[in-house]
Amino acid sequence: MKMEVIPQERSWVELDLSAFSHNLDFLKRHLKPHQGFMQIVKADAYGHGAREIAELALKKGALYLGVANVEEGKLLRMQGVMAPILILSPSLNSEIPEIIEYNLEPGVSDWDFAMAFSKAAGKAKRKVHIKLDSGMHRSGLRVEGAGEIYKAIATLPNIVIESVFSHFASSESDPDFSFYQEAEFERFISSLSPLPKYIHISNSAACIKGYGAFANMVRFGIFSFGVNTTADGALSQALKPVMSFKSRISQIKRIKKGESIGYNRDWIAKKDGTYAVIPVGYADGYDFLLSNKGKALVNGILCNVIGRVSMDMITIDITAVADAQTGDIVSLLGAGAESIKAEKLTGLYKGSAYELLCQIGRRARRYYVDGASLLHSAPMSRRDFVADDFADGKLSEIISKALAQRLKSKEMGNLIYRDILRSFFANRDRDLHYRKDFIHEVSFLPSDTKGYYRVKTTLSYRKILDSERFIIACARSDEELRRYFIRRDVEYRWLLDEKLELDENSFHISAARVNGIELNCHIKQQPNSLEIHCSHLRLRELIGQELLFEIDTDTLYPQAMHQFSVFISELTQGVKIAFNYPQEIRVVQPVTVFSGKQKNPPISFEPGRIVVASSRHNWVFPLSGVVFSY
Ligand SMILES: *Cc1c(COP(=O)(O)O)cnc(C)c1O
């Protein structure tokens, strides 16, 4: 395989997605017209990368994805995979909340779990899949009594039985036992009425052998990865290995007849020769049992692993490779030669090809290729970056390190993290508040109170509701106002002229609504402020949702002030601020201080009205605002 970018690592895994597509096409030709397929992606898709395999399989028509446990399903969800996901193995009761949170579908093997799941499922109809033990005697309901338990589960509230499934114990090699299991499963299925949407029993081998033709879904695993676990030679020719494991020669040495190589002197040279040291051992997933047995491909020539597999090294006989050099690529598994296919290598020590795929390349980066061209590569860690995995302190460290790396400066990374990002959180880590579609109308009108304008304000914005109550504060000193800026439960603040009385005539709320619900407002008189406490019982069930807030006030403002300011106190997406003024004010000069992408929002002037509006999608940072001077 020629790649545009040839990896320079000590070892790497190549995953040929065109081979995976080819295998799926081949397998799909064996489906009956009424059958669809589930792609099995458990154990990180047998070491091939669950996300990449899932996405491609879905593109090629997979109806379902199969994982081993809630963690694997959760990771796929975090990676943006939306398709239905079945958890094949029985789950623990303690995993139920996450199964629900991530919309995963559990395989159910007993009544107790079904009951606990139904209880936790809430009102939404959650899908479950009943596993029947048709003879493998691992998980699943035993056949005797399964009918009653099935019926009882079917009547549980909040859940729907989406499928019934079973699993063959030896579909590769034992037709008699497979026919027996098939008959047990079919007998159980025929007793059900109504039937669930999906019935499935076959894995790769069972599908190829034609078992379970009555089912309408098949679960593809090992064959889709190009590994043939049956004795059928033709199948080996039809499937293409997806995973290849490669390394490089790190040293070439001579050995003399009678000398030994490696631990325990397990290999002794029968004649003089040349051998190579390869920087891969059992810690890289190259199985210890391949000691003195494994094969490797160097410059098109098959070589024997000689001596024991060490933790970090193996040695191969390259006497027959005339032109070998250090740095030459060595293929240890996968494409290139029959002898290095997973099923052949594991055949040498009666091991499992499934296991070898899962364990290989533990210290290797993955390179996804499409035939000859490199698609992308994935880091060594087998788990995608999931922020939840880390404690707060560790996460902060990761963020500042990532910034430093991007900016190529530790100092700038720290500055941005500590002084800029942290200020948004204002020491209330995680509790970042934001608003959207912020519209604030301020109208100055004539008033009966001499020396003051009557001011009507209307404010609307969207925000996630975090409490069933909030406060609107009217302060009579800057200091008092500042106190309300720090408080999180305050949605709107007004600074009242010191000479005015703190009463309803000076400041009152004409409307306070959340999603159209008229809130109950109670005034609390404080020594130097008015607090209007707004709440409604119905808000309790809306907590956590993004809702429309509307606050209208009626108040007074000194004419002699000659300027009026509007501040943005939270991170806000889309800001529109309008100032309406009477004819007697001739000229108004707006000065905008906007931080964010759009530093100079457009300003429009009409007679008696000025509008400052950022574009709807732009984010405006706190402490932005407009000062209107008149
Ligand atoms: C792993 C698994 C499969 C896939 O089997 P292959 O032999 O890899 O095709 C199918 N069904 C269940 C329940 C499994 O656990």
21-51, pLDDT tens digit by residue? 999 999 999 999 999 999 999 999 999 999 9
Could you tell which of 88, 235, 239 is best to mutate to test the pocket of ligand 1, judged by most ligand atoms within 8 Å of the CB? 88
Q: Which two tokens stand for residue 292?
A: 């003195």
With CA atoms as reference, report the closest residue to 365 among 376, 384, 378, 374: 378
Residue 595 near residue 584, CB atoms below 8 Å: no
- What atom of ligand 1 comes closest to residue 204's alpha carbon? 9
Question: What sign does the dihedral 314-318-324-325 (CA atoms) show?
Answer: positive
Residue 334 near residue 366, CB atoms below 8 Å: no
If pLDDT is split at 50, 70 and 90, which confidence band does 349 have? very high
**What is the model's pTM?**
0.76
Residue 48 near residue 401, CB atoms below 8 Å: no
If pLDDT is split at 50, 70 and 90, which confidence band does 1 have? very low
Distance, in Å, from the CA atom of 472 to the CA atom of 490, rounded to the nearest integer, reads 6
| Measured torsion, CA atoms of residues 259, 264, 266, 271, in degrees rounded to the nearest 10 | 0
Tell me, letter by letter, the H, E, C secondary structure of 497-509. CCCCCCCCCCEEE
Burial code (b: 16+ CB inside 10 Å, e: under 16) for 611-622 equals bbebeeeebbbb
Burial code (b: 16+ CB inside 10 Å, e: under 16) for 569-582 equals bbbbbbbbbbbbbe
Mean pLDDT (the chain, rounded): 93
Question: How far, in Å, is the centroid of ligand 1 from the Cα of 78?
Answer: 24
Could you tell which of 24, 40, 65, 202 is best to mutate to test the pocket of ligand 1, judged by most ligand atoms within 8 Å of the CB? 40
Mean pLDDT of 162-174: 97
R_g of the chain, CA atoms, integer Å: 35
Distances (CA, A) of 117 to 67, 76, 123, 502: 18, 21, 12, 56
Distance, in Å, from the CA atom of 63 to the CA atom of 248, rounded to the nearest integer, reads 40
Helix (H) or strand (E) holding 12: strand 11-16
Nearest CA, atom 15, ligand 1: 88
- What atom of ligand 1 comes closest to residue 107's alpha carbon? 13
Question: How far, in Å, is the centroid of ligand 1 from the Cα of 203?
Answer: 5
- What does the pLDDT read at residue 108? 98
Q: pLDDT tens digit string along 475-511?
A: 999 999 989 988 888 999 999 999 999 998 899 999 9
- What atom of ligand 1 comes closest to residue 38's alpha carbon? 10
- DSSP per-residue codes, 55-116: HHHHHTT-SEEEESSHHHHHHHHHTT--S-EEE-SPPPGGGHHHHHHTT-EEEE-SHHHHHH
Active site residue 434: no
Q: pLDDT tens digit string along 535-592?
A: 999 999 999 899 999 999 999 999 999 999 998 888 899 999 999 999 999 899 999 9
Q: pLDDT tens digit string along 203-239?
A: 999 999 999 999 999 999 999 999 999 999 999 999 9
Question: How far, in Å, is the centroid of ligand 1 from the Cα of 167?
Answer: 8
- Burial degree of 197 (CB within 10 A; 0-12, 13-18, 19+): middle
Question: How far, in Å, is the centroid of ligand 1 from the Cα of 141?
Answer: 18
CB atoms within 10 A of CB 415: 16
Partners of 161 in the β-ladder: 128
The residue annotated as part of the active site, out of 151, 263, 394, 410, is: 263
Distances (CA, A) of 291 to 128, 305, 594, 613: 45, 7, 68, 72
Question: How far, in Å, is the centroid of ligand 1 from the Cα of 385?
Answer: 27
- What atom of ligand 1 comes closest to residue 229's alpha carbon? 7
Q: Cα–Cα–Cα angle for 155, 40, 72, nearest 5°?
A: 80
- What does the pLDDT read at residue 3? 61
Tell me, letter by letter, the H, E, C secondary structure of 214-255. CCCEEEECHHHHCCCCCCCHHHHHHCCCCEEEEEECCEEEEE
- What does the pLDDT read at residue 623? 79
Active site residue 42: yes
Question: How far, in Å, is the centroid of ligand 1 from the Cα of 485?
Answer: 58
With CA atoms as reference, report the closest residue to 520 among 530, 535, 509, 504: 535
Please tell me the least confidently modeled range out of 49-58, 377-386, 430-439, 489-498.
Answer: 377-386
In sequence order, which residues have a C-beta less than 8 Å from that of residue 176 and are 6 or more positions away? none
Question: Ligand 1 site: residues with CB under 6 angstroms?
Answer: 40, 42, 88, 167, 203-205, 219-223
Could you tell which of 108, 219, 223 is best to mutate to test the pocket of ligand 1, judged by most ligand atoms within 8 Å of the CB? 219
- What atom of ligand 1 comes closest to residue 203's alpha carbon? 9
Task: Tell me the pairing of strands 603-606 and 609-613.
Answer: antiparallel
What order do you get walking across the sheet with 520-526 strand by strand?
Answer: 490-495, 469-475, 529-535, 520-526
Q: pLDDT tens digit string along 82-139?
A: 999 999 999 999 999 999 999 999 999 999 999 999 999 988 899 999 999 999 999 9
Q: pLDDT tens digit string along 246-276?
A: 999 999 999 999 999 999 999 999 999 999 9
Distance, in Å, from the CA atom of 525 to the CA atom of 507, rounded to the nearest integer, reads 12
If pLDDT is split at 50, 70 and 90, which confidence band does 423 have? low
Per the rule left: phi > 0, alpha: psi between -120 and 50, beta: everything else, 115 is alpha
Q: Which two tokens stand for residue 160?
A: 């729907």
Distance, in Å, from the CA atom of 212 to the CA atom of 228, rounded to the nearest integer, reads 20
Nearest CA, atom 4, ligand 1: 221
